[in-house]
Amino acid sequence: MKNLIIIISLFLFSLNSDSQVDIKLKNDYLLKGKLITKIDKLIPQCGILAWATIVEFEVIYFSDSSYSEKIIPVVIACPNPYKTGLYEIGNTYELVLSSNKWDISEWVFFESSKELLTKYDMKKHYWFSKLIK
């Protein structure tokens, strides 16, 4: 009887749980754009410090209708151009971006990336989540 109650409880609990959907999260966006700046290869991997960099894309398609500029800066946390797949300037990429991934003030940037942060007056920052193709 005790086992039956546990099984029924687990079954009812599993009916109530939610699972994440890949791109369908309300703060995720689809970007199709041409890479116009490269990832600096001198940026260290994340360890004690949380390193990030910013690359720019020329927008071909962007699913966030509130963004209307032709160029978009994208923040890449713990950058590694070989893991992200973003290493050819001029190539077109489809990316999933997230607007509420982390607080930008908690990350360390090289001076060139800080300049890009101030160049664009962004209401929200777009973070690289994954490469589609």
Residue 89: count of CB within 10 angstroms of its CB? 12
The residue assigned the tokens 């927008």 is 59
CA dihedral 78, 84, 88, 89 (to 10 degrees): -50
Note the pLDDT of residue 102. 73
Residue 18: count of CB within 10 angstroms of its CB? 5
pLDDT digits (tens, 9 = 90+) for 36-89: 987 776 666 677 778 888 889 999 999 988 888 899 998 888 776 566 566 788
Average pLDDT over residues 94-115: 78
pLDDT digits (tens, 9 = 90+) for 106-126: 777 777 777 777 787 777 888
Note the pLDDT of residue 22. 41
Note the pLDDT of residue 86. 66
Encoding tokens for residue 72?
């978009």
Note the pLDDT of residue 26. 55
- pTM for the complete prediction? 0.70
Encoding tokens for residue 122?
């962004």
More confident residue, 128 or 32: 32
Residue 35: count of CB within 10 angstroms of its CB? 20
What are the beta bridge partners of residue 77? Answer: 52
* β-bridge pairing 28-35 and 52-62: antiparallel
CB 29 within 8 A of CB 62: yes
Note the pLDDT of residue 33. 93
Note the pLDDT of residue 15. 52
Domains of the chain by start residue, with CATH:
21-131 (2.40.50)
